[in-house]
């Protein structure tokens, strides 16, 4: 009886979350899944065509290119960002560094700004000839950087977007990794130092194994977040030039909202969702095994 | 000893270099927001405006340019949406976090992890289904559409649950033995103890709501419902404003200020909340 009452009260308190989850997550996903099997334009009646959309997608060079662009930008952004974040976190965690809190707060400023406002700023930073990079390069005599068409060259545009993402997101990973380093018990580190271990040995032998699970979490989080980013691409290139930065979120958005190919876009959305899900599950498995 | 000080110098150099990288674009934005049009893209860069034009801010805010609506109106919309979402999220997260922290029921763990896991998925992968639901609820093109999907978030529930798990059961039991109802226990014990959760969830939700862009872009069609980021993305549109970069930058500065001020005031609980997130393992 007590248990049953407890369960009922618990469910009563958690029901808003359960309800919101059902309405805004499960129901929509079920709905897209349904429409992904239909030839459907928003506003008209869907005609069910089985797996047609999926087969078309896998043969659609634009979709495959979008998947490639997403992965490329994510790799360009996430790998340097995480290396930088790890170095920053290690530096911040050094007890001899003064004003640690002030550093962390100032670092967080790009994170709490919004993509659109800072996207406008980065557009002007990256402008060839007159932009901030070009102008600073000219003052420093680095002439080769002056005319670089950052956002209108198919090779450079993904790099420019990645640079913007690195600028905006690195501090967030830094804070997570910093918290991870700080969670290593001080007396263990102290004992190792007393035993004559060097700074690097302490890091690799003691801190790293303890922070590995959180590091994997940060890797998964930043990779998935970056794959799903719509704003930096929309603000800097809108998907161009020549589809070089037409990532999955842009592909979905255009197919659904611009071309009204709703069934097709739904199928692409399902593939994107399943891909992210598989990635997250695989990573969390690895994470569990390691911890 | 010398080895150690070199390492420390390197660390300071790294932190300082990164700080410049992180803040320079915003410093440039702020300076451009005060410049005359022709000074914005001057080569070499003028870090201090040669002449000061605070009227750029008034122009960004007040000039009607989106079928009669001004950026100032979008700021009002953003304020309403972010505030209401944050308030609702605070109330719901405490209740839900309490339910998860202090009651046992079947499927509790699975539910909690599904909820948390779902929010790690990229938002753009669910934007189409969410759009379909909101449209079928009749909330398309309304401010409500910007609020209701975000009043419960996995992160907020998780933070609140982590915090409330630490509340001693004895407190709650004592109140129950005195004949307090479950609702009364919640109201008189849990809510008053939840101060840190309230601030963290309020700040996180406000900032997420204020800065969201893709969702308002797809769900709002009338410009009277536009939010600040949406308006900002259109600031460059319209023949007369195409290259009024100083007005863009004034608008960008204005849009950045509210979440930034919120963050700087409540930076401690916010950072604690973030650090708690990394305790997910």
Does B95 sit within 8 Å of A16, measured CB to CB?
Answer: yes
- Asked, for residue B14, whether it belongs to a domain, the answer is no
pLDDT bracket for residue A291 (50, 70, 90): low
Distance CA B139, CA B122 (A): 23
Q: Min CA distance, A77 vs chain B (Å)? A: 15
Mean pLDDT of B166-178: 87
pLDDT bracket for residue A287 (50, 70, 90): low
Lowest mean pLDDT among A57-66, A281-290, B79-88, B159-168: A281-290
> Which residues of chain B does A106 touch, with a Cβ-Cβ cutoff of 8 Å?
19, 22-23
Residue of B nearest to A224 (CA): B122
Residue B95: CATH number of its domain: 1.10.3720.10
Q: Min CA distance, A7 vs chain B (Å)? A: 4
- Asked, for residue B173, whether it belongs to a domain, the answer is yes
Confidence at residue A290, expressed as pLDDT on a 0 to 100 scale: 61
- Asked, for residue B28, whether it belongs to a domain, the answer is no
Tens of pLDDT along B127-169? 888 998 898 889 999 999 999 999 988 888 888 888 898 888 8
Q: Which two tokens stand for residue A234?
A: 């929309």
CA distances from B36 to B56, B244, B248, B250 (A): 9, 9, 12, 12
Does A84 sit within 8 Å of B18, measured CB to CB?
Answer: yes
> Which residues of chain A does B125 touch, with a Cβ-Cβ cutoff of 8 Å?
228, 248-249, 252, 269, 272-273, 276
Q: Is residue A218 a contact partner of residue A81, using CB atoms and an 8 Å limit?
A: no
Closest CA to A120 of B50, B77, B241: B241
Does B267 sit within 8 Å of A105, measured CB to CB?
Answer: yes
Tell me the backbone φ, ψ of residue A270, rounded to 5 degrees.
-60, -45
> Could you tell me the sign of the dihedral formed by the alpha carbons of A188, A190, A195, A196, in that order?
positive
Tell me: pLDDT of B275 over 80: no
Mean pLDDT of A65-72: 94
Mean pLDDT of A128-144: 88
Lowest mean pLDDT among A78-82, A120-124, B159-163: B159-163
Q: Choosing among A20, A116, A256, A266, which should be mutated to test the B contact, i.e. which has the most B CBs within 10 A?
A: A116
Domain assignment of residue B143, given as a range: 34-280
Domain count, chain B: 1
A vs B: CB pairs below 8 A: 299
Domains of chain A: 57-290 (1.10.3720.10)
- Asked, for residue B13, whether it belongs to a domain, the answer is no
Does B114 sit within 8 Å of A21, measured CB to CB?
Answer: yes
Tens of pLDDT along B2-53? 455 888 999 999 999 999 999 999 999 999 999 998 888 888 888 999 999 9
Tens of pLDDT along B212-248? 999 999 999 888 899 999 988 877 554 444 578 899 8
């Amino acid at each position: 009886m007590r248990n049953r009452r407890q369960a009922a009260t618990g469910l009563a308190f958690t029901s808003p979350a359960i309800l919101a989850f059902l309405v805004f997550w499960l129901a929509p996903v079920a709905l897209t899944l349904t429409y992904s099997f239909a030839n459907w334009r928003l506003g008209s009646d869907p005609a069910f065509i089985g797996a047609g959309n999926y087969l078309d997608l896998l043969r659609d060079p634009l979709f495959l290119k979008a998947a490639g662009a997403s992965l490329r930008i994510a790799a360009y952004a996430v790998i340097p960002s995480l290396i930088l974040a790890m170095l920053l976190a290690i530096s911040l965690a050094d007890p001899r560094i003064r004003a640690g809190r002030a550093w962390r707060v100032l670092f967080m400023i790009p994170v709490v700004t919004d993509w659109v406002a800072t996207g406008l700023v980065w557009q002007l930073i990256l402008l060839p000839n007159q932009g901030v990079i070009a102008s600073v390069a000219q003052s420093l005599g680095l002439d080769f950087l002056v005319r670089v068409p950052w956002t209108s060259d198919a090779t450079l545009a993904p790099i420019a977007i990645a640079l913007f993402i690195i600028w905006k997101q690195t501090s967030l990973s830094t804070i997570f990794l910093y918290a991870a380093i700080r969670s290593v018990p001080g007396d263990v580190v102290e004992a190792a130092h007393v035993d004559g271990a060097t700074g690097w040995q302490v890091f690799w032998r003691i801190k790293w194994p303890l922070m590995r699970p959180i590091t994997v979490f940060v890797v998964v989080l930043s990779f998935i977040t970056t794959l799903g980013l719509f704003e930096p691409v929309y603000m800097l290139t809108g998907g161009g030039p020549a589809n070089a930065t037409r990532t999955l979120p842009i592909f979905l958005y255009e197919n659904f909202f611009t071309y009204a190919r709703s069934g097709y876009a739904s199928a692409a959305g399902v593939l994107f969702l399943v891909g992210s899900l598989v990635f997250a599950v695989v990573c969390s498995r690895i994470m569990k095994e390691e911890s | 000893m010398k080895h150690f000080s070199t390492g420390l110098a390197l660390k300071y150099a790294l932190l300082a270099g990164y700080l410049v990288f992180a803040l320079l674009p915003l410093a440039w934005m702020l300076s451009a927001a005060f410049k005359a049009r022709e000074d914005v893209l001057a080569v070499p860069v003028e870090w201090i405006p040669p002449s000061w034009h605070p009227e750029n801010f008034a122009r960004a805010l007040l000039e009607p340019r989106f079928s009669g609506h001004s950026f100032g109106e979008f700021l009002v919309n953003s304020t309403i949406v972010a505030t209401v979402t944050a308030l609702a999220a605070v109330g719901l997260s405490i209740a839900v976090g309490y339910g998860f922290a202090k009651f046992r029921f079947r499927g509790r763990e699975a539910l909690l992890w599904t909820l948390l896991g779902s929010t790690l998925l990229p938002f753009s992968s669910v934007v189409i289904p969410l759009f379909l639901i909101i449209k079928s609820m009749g909330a398309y093109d309304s401010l409500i559409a910007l609020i209701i999907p975000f009043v419960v978030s996995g992160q907020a529930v998780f933070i609140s649950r982590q915090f409330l798990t630490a509340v001693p059961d004895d407190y709650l039991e004592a109140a129950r033995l005195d004949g307090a109802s479950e609702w009364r226990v919640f109201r008189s014990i849990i809510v008053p103890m939840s101060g840190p959760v309230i601030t963290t969830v309020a700040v996180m939700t406000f900032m997420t709501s204020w800065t969201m862009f893709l969702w308002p872009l797809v769900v709002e069609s009338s410009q009277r419902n536009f939010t600040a980021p949406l308006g900002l993305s259109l600031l460059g549109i319209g023949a007369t404003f195409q290259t009024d970069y100083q007005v863009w930058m004034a608008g960008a500065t204005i849009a950045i200020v509210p979440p930034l001020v919120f963050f700087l005031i409540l930076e401690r609980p916010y950072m604690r909340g973030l650090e708690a997130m990394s305790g997910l393992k």
